[in-house]
Amino acid sequence: MTAPTTLDDTGDDAAAPAPDAAPDLLTVENLRVWFGTTEVVKGISFTARPGRCLAIVGESGSGKSVTARTLVGLTGANSRMSAERIDLAGVDLTRQSDRSWRSIRGRDIGFVLQDALVSLDQLRRVGDEVAEPLRLHGWGNKRRRAERAVELLDAVGVPEPELRARQRPYELSGGLRQRALIASAIALDPKLVIADEPTTALDVTVQAQVLDLLAASKTRGTSIILISHDLSVVARLADEVAVMRRGEIVEFGTAHQVLHAPTHDYTQHLLDAIPSEHTRGTRLLRPPEGTTEGPRTRRPVDRDRPVVQARNVSKVFRGPDKINRTVVDDVSFDLYAGETLGIVGESGSGKTTTARITLALLEATSGDVLLHGQPWSDIPTAASRPLRKQIGIIYQDPLSSFDPRWPVGRILSDALATGSRPPSSKAEAQERAIRLLEQVGLSDKHLTTAPLRLSGGQRQRVAIARALAPEPGIIVCDEPVSALDVSVQAQVLDLLTELQDDLGVSYLFISHDLGVIHHVSDRILVMKSGKIIEQGDADDVFQQPQHPYTQRLLTALPQLAQA
Amino acid sequence: SSSSGAAESGGSTPVQGGTITYAHVQEPSCIFGGWIQQAYISRQILDGLVTEDDNGAIKPWLATAWTVSPDGLSYTFTLKSGVKFTDGTPVDAAAIAWNFDLWENHSGNASAKVSMDPYYKSAKALDPTHVKITLNKPFPQFLRLITQGYYGIQSPTAFKSRTRQENCEKPIGSGAFKVKQWKRGEEVVLVKNPNYTSWPATAKHHGPAIVNEVDWKFVADGVSRYASLTTGQANVVYQVPTSNWTDAQQKYQPIRFITPGKPVSFNLNTKQGVFTDKLVRQAFAYGADRKAAVKAGFHGVIPYEGNPALDQATPDYNAQAAQAYPFDQAKANALLDRAGWRKGAAGIRTKNGKRLTVRLVYGSGYVLTKEGETVLQILQEQWKQTGFEVKLIPATQAEGFSGKYSSPSTYDATPEYWCNSSPAVLWIVWRPTTKAAPNYNNESFYNNDQLAKTIQQANTEQDTAKAGQLYQKAQQVVQDNAVSIGLYPQTSLYAVAKNLKNVWLEKSQGEPVFSDAYFTK
Amino acid sequence: MVIAAASLTFLAQLLMPGDRATALMNVQTGQQKRWTAAELAPVNKEFGFDRPLPVQYLHYLGGLFRGDLGTSYTQHRPVTQVIGGQLAPTLILTLGALVTAWVLAVAITVLTVKRTRAVSALGSTWEALTASLPNYWVGVVLLVVFAVKLPLFPVIGGSNAWGTVLPLATLAIPLAGFLGQVTRDELEKVLDQPFVTTARTRGMSDTAVRLRHALRHAVLPAITLSGWALGALVSGAIITENIFARPGIGQVLVTAVNTRDVPTVSGIVLVVAVAYVVANLLVDVAYALVDPRLRGRS
Amino acid sequence: MTVSPLPTAGARLVRLDRLRIRPSTAVSLIVVLWVLLATIAPDLLTNRSPTAIDLGGTMQAPSWNHPFGTDQAGRDLFTRVIYGARQSMGIGLGATALAMVIAVLLGFTAGLAGGFLDAVITRVVEVTFAFPALLLALLVISVRGPSQATELIAVGIGSAPGYARMVRGQVLNVRQAAYIEAAAALGHNRWTVIRQHLFPNAMRPLVAVMTLGIGQSVVWASSLSFLGLGVPPPSSEWGALLDAGREYITTSWWLEILPGLVIIVVALAATSLGRTLQHKLEGAAS
Ligand SMILES: Nc1ncnc2c1ncn2[C@@H]1O[C@H](COP(=O)(O)OP(=O)(O)OP(=O)(O)O)[C@@H](O)[C@H]1O
Ligand SMILES: Nc1ncnc2c1ncn2[C@@H]1O[C@H](COP(=O)(O)OP(=O)(O)OP(=O)(O)O)[C@@H](O)[C@H]1O
Ligand SMILES: [Mg+2]
Ligand SMILES: [Mg+2]
């Protein structure tokens, strides 16, 4: 499969300064890092220039963060580093005393850590945290620093900066925290800012704001090293891109070149795996070498046969402050046999709550849900129990949905036993469990593995296998891929579409990732503050969004094409 | 072999004033009462009518003289004149009579009462300096009995006008010291009575106390107590741990006092259980080397006492009876065989399917010290060899006080002592129980009319020699019937710093006397 | 809750086997025998033991609300006075021990956590060792070493400052080990937190990172446990007061339990319960001071 | 990130390596095993009798013949310590088990029932928690008289409230876990969910806490014995040994110091094992 032809080749290269205009600020040559005896960074070289952004991309565990931390001398315990050269504006970073490192950190290099939401001290005021580099490097007096912190917060676009400075991180939303962290990193106007995954876990709208912010400091002449595994994010900001894989840089070039005309297979593989409207109805991963795959035929949706009908469902929660909050507000929808109904919406908009009501795991405050046209959500639990085999769920976080004591085999045979065709013997249960595992691309050797020892993608697949075991006609998928990186995500999405095509399963598919939703859904519900504000055919919603919120969501969505 | 007095004066220069720090063991809840722990401290504050000297002779104290009527039924005491309680009221005949009435009729002091019962009849003030005590029957031991600390004379005015709390914490007497402050849990601070005039005839100097204060500390832990002396924080300590006694003898003035009365001896339950059979009781007595056990447990400091009825410091002690039941396992085995107890599994004897089990209940920490418990453990091991299965059951003070182990169904043997200066203690312990008058002090539940009669005769016999013979006979009866088995006398071990002279012990119960003591430079 | 604790104790003791009047007579005479009804009658009358139990209980409860804890059976004075006189030494001892333990625990953890292998091992071994030390053993050993063999401290120091040093150490050392273990675990975790790394990327020194950022987070579990530790400290105080012949509630309690002095035992339980409630309030306050996240809640 | 499959050959070796037994854990294990052996078969560790007296050889300092010396009745202290393990550990294990049973009953009822019953039980637990454990023990002993059973009950009841709190918290915690809902979503009934998932998972972290508790219980029990409220003689329960040895500390130090060290070492080993277990379980849970 080739790169999507729709990728816009024009880009906006012209806006960026000419690649060779400025001298290198940072030069890294042949950097190697070991943890114990394992080498995790295997001799990489790159350069960063003032006013330009170098992006390091690559899948999880490829060594991006380790490289970044090494640049500020904080590789970590038990680590060993060697490099032919690490040079920051004439200063040799390979030989620095602890004391001189301290004077470089924060002043010459600003660092935004990967885990933004927990990178501010929860117990201290935001203003103090932002001003900390100022204090550490002897900038101004206490009062001036406080003022400066407010200015910085204002500069990174934090509304009501005086108030925010007096609040503590837990009182701020994720986006505000991320911005405060950036404010702290650029407080002393360092020559180099390293931002490690500055936008993961942010809603698309907030993500856009953060990227704008970094773009702004780039225009002021700061050199930025951006680390991300999200290529569409990179496309928006980077001038150069280094693709890392297993500790090596496999491809390095201008953003445009790497994202639109990759030379390395791996880069291509990454690009392909990104779900979007263009990938609908296709496999995201190339079929294994040697197998040829015919065009897949999508099973038609049976519009006459609604399997789930939610009618005017509302849910009110009483908070610890004794205030009632309507979390799901008059939600109605139908899910038809063989259909995928996508639900999108920002965090806290009531998606999971809706899913749990649909599964009758949570009682609705008002309204009800029908299953195959029969009462379902408001019948006694004893009566609903036999019906449960018809509807399954894949949890957002599969790991916590497994009893940590049970190995995969037991999890599956337990699920099999609840189905309509419970296995009659141990041997049969085992055999069927193995078949399930094979279906999701695992094998019998995983039967005895504890869920904890599985990788994220494997866990997700076991969760799917469990959902499939009772052979339900309906599966509720709550953010099934949010925790996975693109390649594993692609693997999982491919499996789900395959199952739908083969078995005619219906999905209620929840995600906040518009690309994923667009890739899998036939129809889409958009939720905001508990209400469905828009619903319709996937293409209609994406192409002609009616509701202003949906429109905002879509414009904020970064596109590869921006590179 | 008691030596109550360790002061050899001379050498260094005496000093007037100073504070004696005395480390005692137990803290009583009130200063005055019928517990020996109370007698120790109230002896400092309250004076008695008469006292006893080292030879056992009765000597004047508040009473300068006394006459006994020929029928032995009335005692007329002449009081020292001009003596005042520390509240300023006079120590007159009326006050003495009131005190006797308090003890006998108003639960003033149960130990005082039980010593006089049933002989006491009434007390009457003849004039301010003469008081007459009338008895029901002649009771020559009466004088000796009232030398005990329980008979301290208190000011009736104070007693009646003050609250119970004040009477409990600061009894008013005419003694050499008075209570200044009681820091509960720590110490009682005694200050000298500057107007003291009523020292006993046994006093070593005339006049108020030489030191200004006595800090009467309570230090329950033996190691700390002895250490307080070795580090110089205390000048006198009570109950030196026996393992430190040799050291104390070298470095300090040691005083060992054997308290007269019933020694620590095992009272055997004759009413229920294995010890209803005399042969078994005798076998029990023969079955263990009590002498060696006492020697080991107390590191040779406390003597063995073979006489269960009275100890060697008590007048009319029967030394002959003390020789009975030497350690003889062969004899013990023979007696048990004769009684029908046969050796069974693991060497424990059985009879009719019942094991020869002895529940030995003892007051842990308050009747027996740790050393005493060691003695029990040694004995237990030896008794095992003759086929007794002895179960040691420690009773906490709470259990003891609550009377949990006081009925015949609760134990087979229990060690107990009774400090008393007179052989008349035999009556307290061995008076038979009758419906009308149960004797709960008779822990062997042993009713023996012959024994009762002998003791009663002895108590009323006015001829001292005859009385002595009767008391000795009574001891022999107790021993012959093996209703109690002797172990060791209640012994007090004091150590006094070398620079403190003239600390001596009162004869009847061994309370330390600080009114004559002085420091030297 | 406080009243419930005292009532429960009072009732439990009333229902305990054994007669209170007998116990009192025996306490007064140092015996352990039975007494005749005639001998017991005056005692029963004086303390009202002859009244039905519910009446006695209601009477006690009524007193409680008037702030009257009753009169000690054995000391013949108000329980408030019995306890009042002994409260200060115990409070000084327990609170002093708590503070000392904190200082020790914090100092040792901050100095040894995540240092070189040897130093860290030393710190954690010290904590594990001291946390396993029984109070009484520490007490006896300290007494023998520092008061008897090397007479630096008084053996029978009573309640003065110098005499408080050893009892304080007796209570504080095991507690410091315990708090230290908890703080160490937490500090180890916190030092791995991203916000700590962030602080380092700003150029902060290791010591500053520990003191300014990490410590505050690391002490939170130990603060929570301090409320619980109070119960352990009171238990420890009973033992410590016993060894060092120190006045205090612990000694009174043991005696009162032994002599079945019901009002005194109940009174002490009441005081301990109050102390427990107060301590937990203080813990909450301290927690909220250190962790403002809790302030908004509840 | 994927876990690379283990090579089949040498898998055993790899597993062993996975256990990563640190030397301190190994020592703790050895100590605990030694104590267990002493508990089960003391006669394998010594051929003397713990009560055999020798009035000719009292108060002997430690020597080859008597590694811990002899006491005031000439009994071999080493033998007494070994035989005392049964009582000490019996109380330690028994008290912890008793505390656990009480705690599980209360904690589960409170945690599962919720509402009024929860409130009542939580109150009761709070009230008893306010009692210093030693006071509870004193009260129990003053009623029942000292014996091994009493000591076990006293220590057990004294430590139950703490565990009960923990169990309740754990139940509330596990009840929220997604796998509980997942089991319900599969159509299991309430009791199956409680039996298969809630109970075992709520109890899991308590295993480590119990190991910690055993060490503490041994120390507690010895504290009671030290106050003279423990197991009656001639038992050589460790606390009783200390109680007996205390008055000889200045004259025959070994009688106090050596049994004390044994208690400390055992408590230390139990604690360190408990903590290792705790870390393992915590690590496994995250
Ligand atoms: N402190 C450490 N000790 C041991 N190994 C480590 C440590 N930190 C990172 N590694 C290993 O180094 C490798 C690279 O990790 P790194 O955090 O750089 O990945 P990454 O590319 O940032 O991945 P992600 O996208 O998930 O953040 C991984 O295999 C990781 O397991
Ligand atoms: N059991 C509950 N009690 C009280 N409030 C709840 C409960 N469950 C959810 N909520 C609240 O309901 C709101 C919606 O939650 P829900 O989990 O449905 O959101 P979501 O759309 O799934 O968000 P996300 O994308 O973060 O998963 C949130 O504000 C949440 O705090
Ligand atoms: Mg990373
Ligand atoms: Mg959700």
Would the CA dihedral through B372, B376, B379, B381 be positive or negative? negative
B-contacting residues of C 75-94, CB under 8 Å? 75-77, 82, 85-86, 89
The predicted-structure confidence for B185-229, as pLDDT tens digits, reads as follows 889 999 999 999 999 999 999 999 999 999 999 998 888 899 999
Structure confidence at residue B6 (pLDDT): 44
* DSSP letters spanning A7-39: S-S-TTGGGSPPTTSS--SEEEEEEEEEETTEE
Query: In ligand 1, which atom is closest to the CA atom of A77?
Result: 1
Chains that touch B (3 or more CB pairs under 8 A): C, D
pLDDT digits (tens, 9 = 90+) for A249-276: 999 999 999 988 899 988 888 888 887 7
Among C113, C202, C223, C291, the residue to mutate for chain A (most A Cβ within 10 A):
C202
Region A323-351 average pLDDT: 89
CA–CA distance, C236 with C231 (Å, rounded to integer): 9
CA distance B362 to chain C (A): 11
pLDDT greater at residue A8 or residue B405: B405
Tens of pLDDT, residue by residue over C46-71, are: 778 888 888 888 888 888 888 788 88
Least confident of A199-203, B72-76, C74-78, D166-170: A199-203
Range C84-110 average pLDDT: 92
Ranking B2-11, C26-35, D75-84 by mean pLDDT, the lowest is B2-11
- Nearest residue to B155 via CA among B64, B235, B45: B45
Ligand 2 atom closest to residue A530's alpha carbon, by position in its atom list: 14
**According to the model, what pLDDT value does residue D207 have?**
77
> A355: closest CA among A331, A320, A375?
A331
Name the CA dihedral angle for A510, A512, A518, A520, rounded to a multiple of 10 degrees: -30
pLDDT for residue C298 is more than 60: no
Query: Can you list the residues of chain D whose pLDDT is less than 70?
Result: 1-21, 130, 282-286
Cβ contact, residue pair A113, C197, below 8 Å: yes
C-alpha of residue A62 to centroid of ligand 1, in Å: 7
Query: From the CA of A400, how many Å to the nearest CA of chain D?
Result: 6
Q: Do the beta carbons of residue C168 and residue C100 sit within 8 Å?
A: yes
**Cα angle for residues C233, D136, C87 (degrees, 5° grid):** 45
Q: Does B have 3 or more CB contacts under 8 Å with A?
A: no
Q: Which of A317, A318, A331, A395 to mutate to test the pocket of ligand 2 (most atoms within 8 A of CB)?
A: A317
Confidence class for position A12, pLDDT limits 50, 70, 90: very low
Query: Where does the pLDDT of residue B2 fall: very low under 50, low under 70, confident under 90, or very high at 90 and above?
Result: very low
pLDDT tens, position by position, A194-238 = 999 888 767 777 788 888 888 988 998 999 999 988 888 888 899
pLDDT tier at C295 (50, 70, 90 boundaries)?
low
Question: At C193, is the pLDDT very low, low, confident or very high (cuts 50, 70, 90)?
Answer: confident
The pTM of this model reads 0.83
pLDDT reading at B412 higher than 50? yes
- The pair of structure tokens assigned to D81 is 């310590």
Q: From the CB of A60, is ligand 1 less than 6 Å away?
A: yes
Of C167, C45, C158, C150, whose CA–CA distance to C100 is shortest? C167
**Which of the listed ranges A116-130, B265-279, D96-110 does the model predict with the highest average pLDDT?**
B265-279
**Yes or no, beta carbons of B396 and D52 under 8 Å apart:** no
Mean pLDDT of A488-506: 84
- Name the pLDDT band for A292 (thresholds 50, 70, 90): low
* Of A1 and B340, the one with more pLDDT: B340
Mutate to test the interface with D, among B377, B379, B380, B388 (most CBs of D within 10 A): B377
pLDDT value at residue B58: 95
Strand pairing category for A302-318 and A324-337: antiparallel
ipTM value, please give it.
0.81
How many CB contacts within 8 angstroms connect chain A with chain C?
Answer: 75
Residue A350 Cβ < 6 Å to ligand 2 = yes
Is B327 part of the contact surface with chain D (CB cutoff 8 Å)? no
Structural domains present in chain A: 1-108+223-272 (3.40.50.300), 304-406+455-562 (3.40.50.300)
CA distance D243 to D222: 9
Does residue A349 sit at the D interface (CB-CB below 8 Å)? no
Among candidates B27, B233, B401 on the partner chain, residue whose Cβ is nearest the Cβ of C23: B401
Nearest to C202 among A122, A124, A133 (CB): A133
Cα of D215 to nearest chain B Cα, Å: 26
The 10s digit of each residue's pLDDT in B436-473 is: 888 889 999 999 999 999 999 999 999 999 999 999 99
**Searching chain D, which residue's CA lies closest to the CA of residue A394?**
D182
User: In this predicted structure, what is the pLDDT of residue A9?
Assistant: 37
Per-residue confidence band for A453, with pLDDT thresholds at 50, 70 and 90: confident
The ligand that comes nearest to the alpha carbon of residue D1 is 1
Name the closest-CA residue to atom 26, ligand 2.
A347
pLDDT number for residue A200: 73
What does the pLDDT look like over B91-102, one tens digit per residue?
999 999 999 999
Of all residues in chain D, the one with the smallest CA distance to B240 is D247
Looking at residue C96, what is its pLDDT? 93
DSSP state of C25: H
8 Å CB contact between A177 and A120: yes
Q: Which of the two residues, D9 and A433, has the higher pLDDT score?
A: A433
pLDDT in tens, B239-248: 999 999 999 9
The mean per-residue pLDDT over the stretch B347-363 comes to 93
Q: What are phi and psi of B256, to 5 degrees?
A: -110, 130
**What number is the average pLDDT over the span B110-121?**
87
Predicted pLDDT at B5: 44
Q: Identify the band that residue A374 occupies on the pLDDT scale cut at 50, 70 and 90.
A: confident
B426 pLDDT more than 70 = yes
Q: Give all domains of chain C, ordered by start, each with its CATH number.
A: 2-65 (no CATH), 87-294 (1.10.3720.10)
Quick check: CB of A75 below 6 Å from ligand 2? no
Please give the number of the atom of ligand 1 that sits closest to the Cα of A76. Answer: 1
Helix axes D148-175, D115-130, angle to 10 degrees: 140
Does the pLDDT of residue A68 top 90, yes or no? yes
Average pLDDT over residues B3-11: 46
The yes-or-no verdict on residue C127 having pLDDT over 50 is yes
Q: What is the pLDDT of residue B90?
A: 95
C156 and B234 in contact by Cβ < 8 A?
yes
Q: Quote the pLDDT of residue C10.
A: 76
Residue B230 has pLDDT above 50, yes or no: yes
Q: Assess contact for C113 and B215: CB atoms under 8 A.
A: no
What's the pLDDT score for residue D221? 81
